[in-house]
Amino acid sequence: MEKILNVTMMNLIYKISLSFLFVIASNLFPINEESYTFKYKESEFKVNLTNLNDEWNITYEISHPFFKLSQDTQFSYTNLIQISEIKRNLIVMGGLRKIEESYKIDHSRKKIKYIKGQLTETLQYDGAIYDDLTAHLYLRLLNIQTDEEITLNVLERGKIRQKKFIKTISSPDTIKIKEKKEKDKFELFFKDNSKEILKVIQNVNGREFVWENL
């Protein structure tokens, strides 16, 4: 029973966690510095995107009574953004379990070195690649609204998965991004003009999480 509970908790942690990779194209609005604090019951989620001259730094942290998840992403930006390294740390039950992950991206060889504990794997990719929040940011910045599916290659748990999204108008000044999933639910609402995130709704294993920007 304890093992089942641990697996369920880890699935929830991964599904509600957010991390960042950014890619810019000619049909995107420009990236600006951002700072968010989201709240859901006893959980808090902070995100900071900072421009340091010719480099960008993204940090985020999710705090919950049972776990703490943090990530730091370094990347450069010229005509597009190239991620150099991502580090993610998860601490469960005050240190009862710890997981460290890292991604090192080699753009010239189109390869990603993924490290998790003693495991090391190499991933091959073509074109643009994202993780969940990168995909969400890309869709926020994309200068179109469409009811057609948008398929993106997304990094998740050391693998590259194809995820499908729909970007639609929710109200006169609000846009909704919805991920098409067989199970669970993901919806993100943001202001059309400023691109500011207003709310994120997730349903994970029958539990609904409503992250609202404070």
pLDDT digits 0-9 by tens, 183-203: 778 999 999 888 888 998 888
Give pLDDT, residue 175. Answer: 92
How buried is residue 177: exposed, middle or buried, by Cβ count under 10 Å (0-12/13-18/19+)?
buried
Q: Which of 201, 200, 196, 204 is nearest to 36 (CA)?
A: 196
Mean pLDDT value across residues 140-147: 74
Contacts by 72-78, CB closer than 8 A, 24 or more apart: 73/19, 73/20, 73/21, 75/21, 75/22, 77/22, 77/24, 77/31, 78/54
- Asked if pLDDT for residue 72 goes beyond 60, the answer is yes
**Where does the pLDDT of residue 207 fall: very low under 50, low under 70, confident under 90, or very high at 90 and above?**
confident
Give pLDDT, residue 105. Answer: 87
Give pLDDT, residue 208. Answer: 83
pTM of the model: 0.76
Q: What single-letter amino acid sits at 43?
A: S
Give pLDDT, residue 26. Answer: 43
Average pLDDT value over all residues in the chain: 80
Contact 151, 162 (CB under 8 A): yes
Mean pLDDT value across residues 109-121: 94
CA–CA separation, 164 and 153 (whole Å):
9
Q: What are the phi and psi torsion angles at 83 (to 5°)?
A: -75, 135
Give pLDDT, residue 106. Answer: 92
- For the ranges 9-13, 105-109, 131-135, 178-182, which has the lowest average pLDDT? 9-13
- For the ranges 4-8, 141-145, 172-176, 210-214, which has the lowest average pLDDT? 4-8
Mean pLDDT value across residues 167-181: 90
Which residue reads 């998790």 in tokens? 116
- Asked if pLDDT for residue 102 goes beyond 50, the answer is yes
- Asked if pLDDT for residue 10 goes beyond 70, the answer is no
Give pLDDT, residue 80. Answer: 65
Q: What single-letter amino acid sits at 198?
A: L
Give pLDDT, residue 18. Answer: 42
Give pLDDT, residue 162. Answer: 92
